Amino acid sequence: MSQTTGQSSDSFDLEPITLAPGILRAARNIYQAYADTHGSKQVPLGVALDRYTLRGQLIFTGRPILLPHECFVPMQNIEMFDDSDEAEEG
């Protein structure tokens, strides 16, 4: 038997995580396309993104169910990502 850490299984940790710059850029582009079209009507929790095709979908409610080749990029990461950081390195 495993012990629980005190969090319910329904809790969803949105702490910033480290992802590849290409993943973050794709997620930011998906969100930006939504924001340009719809404005700031509703802010999503983040983007579910296919790591190979970089196609994604905004997630607004609930905990996303991901396929093995998908990842979830929380809005905190999208908002913190700055394309100029990568431009300076390259």
pLDDT in tens, 7-43: 344 445 545 567 899 999 999 999 999 999 998 788 8
Closest CA to 77 of 13, 27, 16: 16
H helices within the chain, ranges in order? 21-38, 75-80, 83-89
Q: Is 10 helix (H, G, I), strand (E, B) or coil?
A: coil
Residue ranges making up the domain that contains 31:
21-82
pLDDT level of residue 84 (50, 70, 90 thresholds): low
pLDDT in tens, 47-71: 999 999 999 999 999 888 999 999 9
Q: Residue 9 domain-assigned?
A: no
Q: Residue 47 domain-assigned?
A: yes
Q: Residue 90 domain-assigned?
A: no
Is residue 57 within 8 Å of residue 72, measured between CB atoms? no
Q: Residue 16 domain-assigned?
A: no
Radius of gyration from C-alpha coordinates of the chain: 15
Q: Residue 69 domain-assigned?
A: yes
Amino acid at 38: H
Count of structural domains within the chain: 1
Q: Residue 29 domain-assigned?
A: yes
Q: Residue 71 domain-assigned?
A: yes
Q: Residue 89 domain-assigned?
A: no
